[in-house]
Amino acid sequence: MNEERIGGVLGELFFAQRAAEMGFVTSFPMFLASEYDVVIDSGSGLFRVQVKSTRTIVRPGVFKFVVNTSKDHKYATDGVDVFAFVHNDARKIWLVPAHEVIHLKTFSVNENNGRNEMYLDNWEICLALVLVCFLVPLHLLAA
């Protein structure tokens, strides 16, 4: 198994551990055919989470994650609810609604200027998405 895949698995496990610590039930798809890595149960709904991991630090306090690897591989708007960006070494997780990042090639966090810091440990997203799902189907948000 290559180091990149090991880092991905470690990120998924770290995310699942933190989700469980926050009171969510976590599950993993049995096969690799799904667009998501983890399912979390908030007690009010199920959420499909795509976990993106990195160990890369662009410069101190700046982390960069790959969302879509090519023009040919894009996530479907109805295939993932939440992206979890995990920095394995810093042990940090940024939780972002899928419709906000699904079209991006990369997602960056800059702790120096606060860019995207609002998503750090944003576990409330899972509760907020429950309310949105009752009001508006998620695939309509991306339109």
pLDDT of residue 132 exceeding 70: no
Give pLDDT, residue 142. Answer: 47
- pTM check: above 0.75: yes
Mean local confidence (pLDDT), 125-143: 50
Which two three-digit tokens encode residue 119? Answer: 């998503």
Beta pairing partners, 94: 85, 120
Supply the mean pLDDT for the chain.
81
CA within 13 Å, CB half, 52: 26
Q: Per residue in 51-90, pLDDT tens?
A: 999 887 788 889 899 998 776 677 887 889 999 999 988 8
Give pLDDT, residue 135. Answer: 42
